[in-house]
Structure 1
């Protein structure tokens, strides 16, 4: 029996609710600049405390997972494709801002989703 689109969505939705370890190298906010036809990824540094929470290195305050946070990114990466963005982050930036393999895999998946939304005009919301 083959999987349906609904089956795949259910699997993804379930996996999106799992606990994850945060990358001490920082985190990314991904969005589309449709006017420029670019996938954008703002990289923010953080510190992971003993509870596993991301802390703003400047203020020492916990960075909330939801809601608006006023911070300035360390770097803005852009690319026309997921591959171009991955090359910029993982191959051309030293030291690489991503220090965990699961974070790298997540970013690759998100960049492909963003690329698809950019090409087909669909909505992109970062997971």
Structure 2
């Protein structure tokens, strides 16, 4: 008999899967509690032949904890997960992401951020 997995166990197991980086870039999500906003800074990158994110101008690999500060190309905001998704996916041209799994991930993160904004809990991007 197989034990039923908890929702946390399911999420933890799914987090172990291999993911591909979006060649259109990545987002850093955070809360602006003073203005009651969910914020997402977009950063460009390119993907090299090894699947690593590289600076689109220099071709250098972007380290996870690099000392070189990067500048966001755009900041998206919304008071709810739905509003920031509309601003990102329906009101921006071109759309700064190219992969469905990336859009799904952002939607999940925006929901988590909205919950944290409403409850006062900390938000840490997964």
Give the TM-score taking structure 1 as reference length.
0.89
Post-superposition offset of 1:67: 2.5
1:66-91 CA-to-partner distances (Å, cap 9, x unmatched) read 43551000001111000000001100
Which residue of the partner structure matches residue 26 of structure 2?
Answer: 27
Post-superposition offset of 1:16: 1.8
> Partner of 2:56: helix, strand, or coil?
coil
Which residue of the partner structure matches residue 51 of structure 2?
Answer: 52
Matches for 1:1-127 after TM superposition, within 5 Å: 7-64=6-63, 66-67=64-65, 70-127=69-126
Structure 1 runs of 4+ aligned residues shifted over 2 Å read 66-69
Greater Cα shift, 40-49 or 8-17: 8-17
1:8-46 CA-to-partner distances (Å, cap 9, x unmatched) read 112112222321011111100001111111100000010
**Runs of 5+ unmatched residues, structure 2:** none
> Partner of 1:43: helix, strand, or coil?
strand
CA distance in 2, matches of 1:125, 1:58: 29
CA distance in 1, matches of 2:80, 2:91: 15
1:94-118 CA-to-partner distances (Å, cap 9, x unmatched) read 1111111110011001000000000
